[in-house]
Structures are given as structure tokens and as C-alpha cells.
Amino acid sequence: YWSVDKFVDKLENYPQIQQAADLLSKNEVVAFPTETVYGLGGNAKDNQAVEKIFAAKGRPSDNPLIIHIAGQIQLTDFVEDISAHAQLLMSRFWPGPLTIIFPLKKGFLSSKATAGLETVAVRMPDHPVAMAILKASGLPIAAPSANRSGKPSPTTALHVKEDLDGRIAGIVDGGPTGVGVESTVIDCTSEIPVILRPGGVTKEQLEEVVGEVHVDPALADEKEAPKSPGMKYRHYAPDAPLYLIDGTREDIQRLINEQHREGRKVGVLTTAENEAFYDADYIYACGERDRLETVASSIYEALRSFNKQDVDLIYSEMFPNEGVGNAIMNRLLKAAGQRVIKG
Ligand code: TXA
Ligand code: MG
């Protein structure tokens, strides 16, 4: 476990970064911060390294990993073709929280990293620690979020420790991540790009660059089969059942009162604006409603915090389904197993 100050100069010369890069070169797995969430990195060219990632997370092997790179030049090793849309998106959003799906050029990466698919997901993270490790290792690094499968993604090194202590070779602590939700995944193998997972880059931002953008219908309708394998799993769930309340704070308080009469303890996920309004057993104020990026940056910390509280169930407010609110609502609905109560 090494702590690194992301603001120091020449980070790539720091021994902690070198140690992490050495472990990756030896096909060990190491957690490190990105601007979205902490990732669990491994050499994407090596089957055994990739197997260690799946084993540490308890992740189903049919769910492919995102390949992290430090420079676009690395794409020539394992990407068959870069479309005009993909090029525009890379120029505008890399480094940054956008993962692009390309046609895979076979033979270079471990086929376990791509789960045997004909396509590959790639991103260039916008975080000095992640970039320093990628550069020092010189490898394409497969890195899913560094949580146990099904748990909320980790936004601090402590979250990683809670989930993976003893299961991985190391954790590089670079402080809390910024964006707080994972990268947006966009498929650029079709004529019109398709968002497979909403995330740190919004649909509105993408449309400014490439015009029309489609959204995988599975994101709006749980009966559709998602094109991104990872989107079909239950995810991000706290231990106590979570319900999203489509109503006012008065509706939520009324539901809390009903639960209290039955003798149950209730947690509430709200924002700074409404925090003082509620009478409940545990209240988590997650950012500010009128600045949704502050909600995104603490949503996973919020979900994890309920596991340390004695609550029988959790009620959450809902958020506008626009901008980064797309990603927040997508994660909350998954965490709630799609349970929404009309207030
Ligand atoms: O922000 C992020 O993207 C973080 C940080 C660590 O970079 N990583 C992350 O990885 O969220 P992970 O493994 O938790 O999520 C990867 C998602 C999954 O939903 C997976 O199914 C999808 O990307 N994916 C990977 N390769 C794909 C492909 N070829 N086609 C469609 N979806 C793919
Ligand atoms: Mg994940």
C-alpha cells in the first residue's frame, strides 16, 4: 500500500509509481486512482494477469475489461480501424472519462481481457497517477473498477482496501477520485455512435462533437438485452434494500413514518438542500442537487456509507435524467434493483 501525492512533479520517477509498474510488468495486479473511480490494473497482454483481475473481483469472465493507454499510438497494436467519429471523440475527450469501443485486431491482447469479443473497449485516463503508472509500465493495462463484483465502485483507496485487501499485490493511494462515476462507454463500430453506459462525459457533450448519438435501448428498458455485457449484472448495491422515491420530500417522510410505525430503521439518501428536512435513523447528504457533478462525485461513498449503519432499508431521492444525472440515475436504479416507489 503506497500513498502518492498527485500534485508532485515528475511523478513517473517516484519509487511508488515504479514499484506499481514493476508489479504490473511481473503480471501482478495493482489498484490505482483514475479521475472516475479506482481501477484494478493488470497487463492486458497476459492471460494470467487478466485471470488475477477476474479472480480478485469475483467477476464473471464473460464481462470484458477496459484497456487503459497513455498514448493514441498504442491503438495501432490492437485496434483494427479508427472511424472518423472515434478520432473526433478521442481528440476532444482524451484523456478523460470516455471509453470507446473499436473493432479488435486479434493476437496482441489477452483474449480473456476482451472476453473473446470482436471488439475492444479503450480509454486514456485523465489522472496524473494513472498516467504515470501507464507510462512507467509501457503496457496496455486492463482495469475494471477495483471493487468486489456487485459492490459500489471505489472512489477512495480505503474503499479498495475494504473490498480487495489480501487479494491483490498493492494499492496506490492518490486520494479521492474526482468524477466519481465511471467513464461513459460509447460504441463507435456502428455508423451512428451508441452510448452503452452513461458516465462522466454526457450525451449532450458527445452530440456537440459527432452530431447524432444513440442510446442503447437496454438502458431505458430493463427487458432489452444490453450491448455492454457488464450492464446486465446487478451492481452497486448496498446491503440493505434501496428504494428510489418518485415524489416529494414530504412523500419520502411519510414513507419513513410508516416504516417507523412497523419498528424498522430507515436510511435516507438526499442532498445538502433537503438534509435538515428529514427525520430518519441515518441521513446521507450527497452533494448539492443544483450541481449534479457534486452528487456524482460522492454517490458511491454514499451507497457504501449505509453498510456501516444499522438500517433495515434505504429511501433515495431521484435526480433529473440529464447531463451527468443520466449516470447517477443509471447507477441508483441498478443499486435499487430498479425498485421505484411512486410517492
Ligand atoms: O471509469 C471507468 O471506466 C473505470 C476506470 C477504472 O477506468 N473502469 C470501469 O471498468 O468502469 P468496468 O470493468 O467496471 O466496466 C467496463 C464496462 C463494462 O460494462 C463492460 O461490459 C464494458 O465496459 N465493455 C468492455 N468491453 C466492451 C466491449 N467490447 N463491448 C461492449 N462493452 C464493453
Ligand atoms: Mg465496475
CA 13 to chain centre: 28
Residue whose C-alpha is closest to residue 318's, from 203, 338, 306 = 338
CA of residue 128 to ligand 2 center, whole Å: 21
**pLDDT for 214-245, tens place per residue?**
999 988 877 777 787 776 666 788 999 999 99
- For the Cβ of 179 lying below 6 angstroms from any atom of ligand 1, the answer is no
Q: Which of 295-312 are b and which e, b meaning 16 or more Cβ less than 10 Å from the residue's Cβ?
A: bbbbbbbbbbbbeebebe
User: Residue 243's closest CA among 321, 332, 164, 160?
Assistant: 332
User: pLDDT per residue over 258-288, tens digit each?
Assistant: 999 999 999 999 999 999 999 999 999 999 9
Between 224 and 119, the higher pLDDT residue: 119
197: left (phi over 0), alpha (psi -120 to 50) or beta: beta
* Maximal C-alpha separation, the chain: 63
Interval between CA 19 and ligand 1 midpoint (Å): 26
132 lines ligand 1 (CB under 6 A): no
3-state DSSP call for residue 54?
A: helix
Q: Of all protein residues, whose CA lies closest to atom 19 belonging to ligand 1?
A: 230
Complex ipTM more than 0.85, yes or no? yes
**Residue, of 188 and 221, whose pLDDT is higher:** 188
Q: What atom in ligand 1 is closest to the CA of residue 97?
A: 1
Mutate to test the pocket of ligand 1, among 145, 153, 171, 236 (most ligand atoms within 8 A of CB): 145
Mean pLDDT of 100-113: 98
Residue scoring higher pLDDT (11 or 177): 177
Average pLDDT over residues 3-27: 85
**Residue 39 Cβ < 6 Å to ligand 1:** yes
Q: In whole numbers, what is the pLDDT of the chain averaged over residues? A: 95
On the question of pLDDT at 54 being above 80, the answer is yes
**d(C-alpha 281, C-alpha 264), whole Å:** 9
Question: Checking DSSP bridges between strand 242-246 and strand 340-342, what pairing results, if any?
Answer: parallel
- The C-alpha atoms of residue 248 and residue 242 are separated, in whole angstroms, by 17
What is the distance between the alpha carbons of residues 97 and 145, in angstroms, rounded to a whole number? 13
Does ligand 1 have an atom closer than 6 angstroms to the CB of 31? Answer: no
Average pLDDT over residues 145-160: 96
Dihedral sign for Cα atoms in the order 261, 319, 57, 304: negative
Q: Is the model more confident about 17 or about 225?
A: 17
The cell numbers describing 302, all together, are 454514499
Q: Is 323's C-beta closer than 6 angstroms to any atom of ligand 1?
A: no
> Which amino acid does the sequence have at 115?
A
How much is the pLDDT for 7? 67
Rounded to the nearest angstrom, the distance between the alpha carbon of 35 and the centre of ligand 1 is 15
Q: Does 157 have pLDDT greater than 70?
A: yes
Query: How far is the centre of ligand 1, averaged over its atoms, from the C-alpha of 231 (Å)?
Result: 9
Ligand 1 centroid, distance to 144 Cα (angstroms):
6
> Which tens digits make up the pLDDT trace of 70-89?
999 999 999 999 999 999 99
- The arithmetic mean of pLDDT across residues 57-63, rounded, is 94
pLDDT tens column, 124-151: 999 999 999 999 999 999 999 999 999 9
Instruction: Record the pTM.
Output: 0.95
Residue-level pLDDT at 234:
67
